[in-house]
Chains A and B, each alone.
Chain A
Amino acid sequence: MKLFLRWTSLVVVLAAAALWFSAGANCGWTKNSVPKKIVDEVTGLDGITYERRFVPGVDFVGGAVLAAGILAGASLLFRTKPNTQLKP
């Protein structure tokens, strides 16, 4: 169990970091939509529409690190089985 929790915490951190990097390493807040400019050729105005897209931010990475810390901390609650095998 101890090992399982430690491995899980590592996987959580790595997965969050990979997702954050792959989405463009956004150093701002997490976004659920991203603005997209549309140009009206007649008036020359820039319009804005929003595209639904999840872009993880530093709060997402921070949350993942916190969750991983809790998992790793919980692993300390489990005792390591004593090695009962006697050396010859």
Chain B
Amino acid sequence: MKLALHTLMLSVAMSGAVTAAPLSFDFKDPKGVNNAVFKLDAPLEAINGSANGVSGTVMFDPANPAATTGKIVVATASMHVPNAMMKEHLQGGQWMDVAKFPEIIFEAKELKNVKTAGDTTTADAAGSLTVRGVTKDVSVPVKLTYLKDKLSLRVPSQKGDLLVIRANFAIQRADYGINPGAPKDKVSDTVDLTLSIAGAAPQK
């Protein structure tokens, strides 16, 4: 009887461990909604653009959002601004040099100041940001929204969960060697970034 009770307790503990395992969310978006928006102030008109070449994986445990880690990659060739000549300059050697540096990488190593209310978690994602081959430690305020069993609403053939990540932060372009020679009164040094992405964890 004692052995049976121990076995039962062990199996309950193991099933708990299985359900509490972090889910792997893939951020390659088939709908093309995922995007990173960038904005730089300039005298005549702010330079606004976006990139939709987002990919990466985030490990998220709904029972323990604080343990979230992951890596988000933005393809620099997908960066777009409405003016064709400006886009050519943006992707060229002085600015993003997309031929040499095809990816912007954010790697979240840990979450700090975690606050969870229902399905929404806000935190500071501490990690590293790599732009133009320069890697710097950053802390990015993020908002995670866990949408359980909502994947089928987006992709009818698949069942699973969704994880929405929103982040607003700023970087200094000189820190990453993004055209440091460009006068700051013509194009601001501060680049405002907004990340709006959703990842999917299909049921296996």
Determine whether the beta carbon of A40 is less than 8 Å from that of B33: yes
Determine whether the beta carbon of B83 is less than 8 Å from that of A47: no
Q: Min CB distance, A3 to chain B, in Å?
A: 36
- Whether A44 is near chain B, meaning CB under 8 Å from some CB there, is yes
Determine whether the beta carbon of B37 is less than 8 Å from that of A48: yes
Q: Min CB distance, B41 to chain A, in Å?
A: 13
Determine whether the beta carbon of A48 is less than 8 Å from that of B82: no
Q: Min CB distance, A63 to chain B, in Å?
A: 13
Q: Which residues of B contact A49 (CB under 8 A)?
A: 32
Determine whether the beta carbon of B164 is less than 8 Å from that of A48: no
Name which of B13-21, B44-52, B129-137 contacts chain A.
B44-52
Q: Which residues of B contact A31 (CB under 8 A)?
A: 82-83
Determine the distance from Cα of A32 to Cα of B32 in the docked complex, in whole angstroms: 21
B151: nearest chain-A partner, CB-CB: A42
Determine whether the beta carbon of A48 is less than 8 Å from that of B35: yes
A39: nearest chain-B partner, CB-CB: B33
A51: nearest chain-B partner, CB-CB: B82
Within A18-43, the residues touching B (CB, 8 Å) are 27-35, 38, 40, 42-43
Cβ-neighbour of A35 out of B32, B33, B50 (below 8 A): B50
Determine the distance from Cα of A29 to Cα of B166 in the docked complex, in whole angstroms: 29
Cβ-neighbour of B33 out of A27, A34, A38, A58 (below 8 A): A38
Determine whether the beta carbon of A44 is less than 8 Å from that of B82: no
Determine whether the beta carbon of B44 is less than 8 Å from that of A28: yes
Q: Which residues of B contact A86 (CB under 8 A)?
A: none
List 24 A–B pairs whose Cβ atoms lie within 8 Å, in order of A's numbering.
Answer: A29-B45, A29-B83, A29-B86, A31-B82, A32-B84, A33-B82, A35-B50, A35-B82, A40-B33, A40-B154, A43-B147, A43-B198, A44-B164, A45-B33, A45-B164, A45-B196, A46-B196, A47-B31, A47-B32, A48-B35, A48-B50, A48-B52, A50-B80, A50-B82
Top 4 A-B pairs, shortest CB-CB distance: A28-B45, A47-B33, A31-B82, A43-B198
